Structure 1
């Protein structure tokens, strides 16, 4: 299992940003990251300076989403859907996307479920509960 450090994640997104701006060829995962970055132009300055990104690690900007965590969650959800792991996530996200008429909006709602599942896992010391995660996404897809 690949377990990048916080610095690795920041370097990755800054590198993708620089490569995309330069028009360089992107690897598959970089292409997906770049597409999600395009959906979040408000984070462009965060990705433009790798040194600043690394310097700001460990500091929280009150009231502001961590752009590196946010994009990491988009990538995680995209990867989960591509391999349907946990089983049923692809269908649940497709249902939510249809309901919201927006993959982007669906991802943001799925992030709530993903974050909740990870928090509960950390608090309990148990592995993440995929069934609970899928059920949460399905609830989002079936509510108004």
Structure 2
């Protein structure tokens, strides 16, 4: 399993953006990543300046949103949807898309739920529990939690 450091994960985003801008060939993973990067124009200036942003910290207590975390969560969700893991996540995503009438908004709902599952695992020092994730998605759809 690939487990990059913070800087390696950030460098991947910078390198992918640079390759896209220079019209260089992209790997399959980079092509998926470009779809995410293009959908976030608010981060394009940052992606053009790796020397300035590679080491920057984004502290929530200062009201900062971490763009690298945001983009990485999008990438994680894309992978989940491509393999329907946890099982049923793709169907819930499609229902969120229908409910929201906006795929990006549905992805952000999923991101909220993914963050909730991760927070819970960190808070209680447990493994991430897909039931928490799926339950949160069902609540966003106004469904009873059947997990």
| Residue-pair matches, total | 142
Partners of 2:141 and 2:28 in 1: CA distance: 29
| Match status 1:45 vs 2:45 | yes
Does the 8 A contact of 1:96 with 1:138 survive in 2?
no
**5+ unaligned residues in a row in structure 2: which ranges?**
none
Instruction: Map residues 1-144 of structure 1 onto 2, 5 A cutoff.
Output: 1-56=1-56, 58-60=57-59, 62-142=62-142
Does the 8 A contact of 1:109 with 1:137 survive in 2?
yes
**5+ unaligned residues in a row in structure 1: which ranges?**
none
Partners of 1:49 and 1:102 in 2: CA distance: 30
Partners of 2:49 and 2:112 in 1: CA distance: 28
Partners of 1:119 and 1:106 in 2: CA distance: 20
**Higher RCO by CA contacts (8 Å cutoff, separation 6 or greater):** 1
CA deviations over 1:57-100 (Å, ceiling 9, x no partner):
x3437333211110100000010010111111111111101111
Partners of 1:91 and 1:41 in 2: CA distance: 28
The RMSD of aligned alpha carbons is 1.5
Partners of 2:58 and 2:37 in 1: CA distance: 22
Pairwise CA distance, 1:113: 0.6
Q: Under a length normalisation based on structure 2, what TM-score does the superposition of the two structures give?
A: 0.90
